[in-house]
């Protein structure tokens, strides 16, 4: 069993029969009354986030998690399709379950799929990805006082980010997946 004292960001716990990922937690010791733990949890089945408070020392069933290297094949709108790199076994994951991660994946990209209790639960994307710009307006010098600025761009995966004026269609850019922001040219 896992106690509230052993919580860490990213671990999975079973709360009343439902598997949650711990997004953040905070131990609180008020001047009067017992200590408690304030948490933000993300439900593994559908990605819904909730805030939940637990008494200090409360225990949970640990959940077995494992990551497997897989290749992202394609998304048909309702499901995302993956193939295991070793066994060539294919699996599907509901698109809404991993929509946030899928926006950073181009077809045939290698990813790590997190399995929670032997079922695919989430896709682990790196903190930065390199993608090709497929659509953007031409940047014109003099649009701003300092000559800098940014413009919207669509990447090969379908994600939209703001890029500097000098980036053109066909350029490869490095993007921070946590903040959806441009980092540099690749």
Same fold, 2-62 and 65-124: no
Query: What's residue 40's pLDDT?
Result: 92
Query: What's residue 51's pLDDT?
Result: 92
Exposure string for 26-63, b = 16+ CB within 10 A, e = fewer: eeeeeeeeeebbebbbbebeebeeeeeebeeeeebeeb
Q: How far, in Å, CA of 101 to CA of 82, rounded?
A: 13
Angle ∠(67,70,76) on CA atoms, nearest 5? 120
Rounded average pLDDT per 10-residue block, the chain, 186 residues: 84 86 89 89 81 89 85 86 88 80 83 82 82 83 60 87 86 87 85
pTM, 2 dp: 0.65
Tell me which of 3.20.20.70, 3.40.640.10, 3.40.50.720, 2.40.50.140 is the CATH number of domain 65-124: 2.40.50.140
Return the CATH class of domain 128-185: mainly beta
Return the CATH class of domain 2-62: mainly beta
């Amino acid at each position: 069993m896992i106690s509230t004292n052993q919580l860490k960001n990213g671990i999975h716990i079973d709360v009343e029969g439902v598997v949650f990922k711990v997004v953040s937690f905070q131990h609180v010791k008020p001047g009067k009354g017992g200590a408690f733990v304030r948490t933000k949890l993300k439900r593994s089945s559908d990605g819904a986030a909730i805030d939940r408070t637990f008494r200090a020392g409360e225990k949970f069933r640990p959940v077995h998690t494992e990551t497997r290297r897989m290749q992202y094949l394609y998304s048909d709108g309702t499901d995302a399709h993956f193939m295991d790199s070793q066994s060539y076994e294919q699996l599907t994951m509901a698109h809404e379950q991993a929509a946030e991660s899928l926006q950073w994946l181009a077809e045939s990209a290698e990813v790590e799929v997190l399995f929670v209790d032997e079922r695919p639960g989430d896709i682990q994307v790196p903190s930065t990805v390199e993608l090709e710009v497929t659509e953007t307006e031409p940047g014109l010098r003099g649009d701003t006082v300092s000559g800098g600025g940014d413009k919207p761009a669509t990447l090969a995966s379908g994600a939209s980010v703001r890029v500097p004026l000098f980036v053109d269609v066909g350029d490869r850019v490095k993007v921070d997946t946590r903040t959806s922001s441009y980092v540099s040219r690749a």
